[in-house]
Amino acid sequence: MKIMLDVEIPHKGNKDAAKRRRRIDFYKRHGFTLTRTTYMWQGEEYAMMTYGGNISKARWGEFWDMIQGRVKPRK
């Protein structure tokens, strides 16, 4: 089973950068891997973390297309 989630990137200028770093560290301690896949949403930069293996950026894009109703889920 693969699981993906996103986390806010803890940039130096963020007032809650320490909390963001702790959140990433929590997921790492529980087996998640921080990927290089990032995206902007509502003015905030996010990074993807995965568990159980890497998920390609293309597959991540398919997931968001499905969430937004642009495509049907794979069977």
Q: How many CB atoms lie within 10 A of CB 50?
A: 19
Residue 59 belongs to some domain of the structure: yes
Residue 75 belongs to some domain of the structure: no
Give the domain range for residue 16: 3-67
Closest listed residue to residue 41, CA positions, set 19, 60, 13? 60
Total tally of structural domains belonging to the chain: 1
Residue 72 belongs to some domain of the structure: no
Q: Phi/psi at 7 (nearest 5 deg)?
A: -135, 150
Residue 14 belongs to some domain of the structure: yes
pLDDT at 64: 78
61 against 72, higher pLDDT: 61
Reply yes or no on whether the pLDDT at 73 is more than 60: no
pLDDT at 63: 79
Residue 74 belongs to some domain of the structure: no
Residue 10 belongs to some domain of the structure: yes
Tens digit of each residue's pLDDT (9 = 90 or more) over 29-71: 999 999 888 888 888 899 999 999 888 778 878 877 877 776 5
Bridge partners of 37?
none
34 against 13, higher pLDDT: 34
Residue 9 belongs to some domain of the structure: yes
Closest listed residue to residue 39, CA positions, set 48, 31, 30? 48
Residue 73 belongs to some domain of the structure: no
